[in-house]
Amino acid sequence: MEWRDEGIILGTRKHGETSAILEVMTRAHGRHLGLVRGGRSRKQQPVLQPGNRVDLLWRARLDEHLGTFQAEAIEMNAARLMDSAVAVYGLQTMAAHLRLLPERDAHGGLYETLAVMIAHLDDADAAGELAARFELLILDELGFGLDLSQCAATGTRQDLAYVSPKSGRAVSRAAGAAWHDKMLALPAFLQRSGPRADQAALEDAFRLTGFFFTRHVYEPRGLEPPDARAGFLAALRKHHLPGKAIAVEVAGQ
């Protein structure tokens, strides 16, 4: 069996003395692993770096086998991303989120979003917003998507300011005023026509997504949030507001 596809490298690990196990997010075949023979050679190592976009040929005798990859560079992003702590931690965080999904399940939208993120991860002003949107997309793909389109109480699409921690649905400022201390803040930039995010909006966004990741994904699976996510948020903090921490605690804890 064999297929050819385009992929973005998420990580590698050593295999034997000369080979490597390559983990990629592909356009049509989802997150996929394969053996690259000679993957630790001087020629292959620069290509097999996280963030690089590659053309892949996968071969295996049976579909359920690990199989082998032949990888050729399409876009060499790794060197550019390595110069930015936001980019390095951001890519590691996205890879950790993708590992929550079943291997080999196609998620074309996630692949396209990841490609956009790779192009902008070294721009710290854009990376925070993109990462928050990516986390919302991951929650949606896992079956726990939030409904931020209209107020759960009134149906209005105007002045949405909160998210109900029970339903994951948006609530308008007026409808949620009486329970504002129990609600999660909905930053304006997560809405379709919202403004660019400032530091406070990023704090609210990652508190929002972190709450639902913890409730629906991490706690049921007995997992801890990825360390890379804390590193990513710390790098954003350093970029935006030196000396002040981004609040990442889960609401209500």
Mean pLDDT of 136-157: 96
Report if residue 101 sits inside a domain. Answer: yes
Number of domains composing the chain: 2
One domain, residues 200 and 88: yes
- Statement: residue 199 has pLDDT above 90: no
One domain, residues 108 and 24: no
Report if residue 76 sits inside a domain. Answer: yes
Task: Determine the Cα–Cα distance for residues 225 and 243; give it in Å rounded to an integer.
Answer: 23
Q: Find tokens 């996510």 and name the residue.
A: 229
Report if residue 158 sits inside a domain. Answer: no
Spatial CA neighbour of 139 closest among 100, 197, 103, 92: 100
One domain, residues 20 and 143: no
Report if residue 57 sits inside a domain. Answer: yes
CATH number of the domain bearing residue 37 = 2.40.50.140
pLDDT in tens, 204-218: 999 999 999 999 999
Whole-prediction pTM: 0.91
Residue 171, pLDDT score:
98
One domain, residues 205 and 87: yes
Report if residue 23 sits inside a domain. Answer: yes
DSSP the chain: -EEEEEEEEEEEEEETTTEEEEEEEETTTEEEEEEETTTTSTTTTTTSSTT-EEEEEEE-SSTTS--EEEEEEEE--HHHHTT-HHHHHHHHHHHHHHTTSPTT---HHHHHHHHHHHHHTT-HHHHHHHHHHHHHHHHHHTT---B-SS-TTT---SSEEEE-TTT-BEEEHHHHGGGGGGSEE--GGGSTTPPPP-HHHHHHHHHHHHHHHIIIIIHHHT-PPPHHHHHHHHHHHHHHSTT-----SPTT-
The vertex-94 CA angle with 35 and 118, nearest 5°, equals 85
One domain, residues 10 and 121: no
One domain, residues 97 and 221: yes
One domain, residues 90 and 119: yes
Query: What tokens were used for 84?
Result: 């930015």
Report if residue 199 sits inside a domain. Answer: yes
Mean pLDDT of 235-247: 69
State which residues form the domain around 235: 83-148+186-240
Spatial CA neighbour of 201 closest among 241, 230, 164, 235: 241
Where a domain ends, among 80, 105, 134?
80
pLDDT in tens, 82-109: 999 999 999 999 999 999 999 999 999 9
Mean pLDDT of 242-246: 49
One domain, residues 219 and 193: yes
One domain, residues 93 and 49: no
Where a domain ends, among 80, 96, 114?
80
One domain, residues 96 and 15: no
Q: Find tokens 């003395």 and name the residue.
A: 17
Residue 188, pLDDT score:
93
Mean pLDDT of 143-167: 96
Cβ-count burial 92-117 (b if 16+ within 10 Å, e if not): bbbbbbbebbeeeeebeebbebbbeb
Task: Determine the Cα–Cα distance for residues 175 and 57; give it in Å rounded to an integer.
Answer: 54
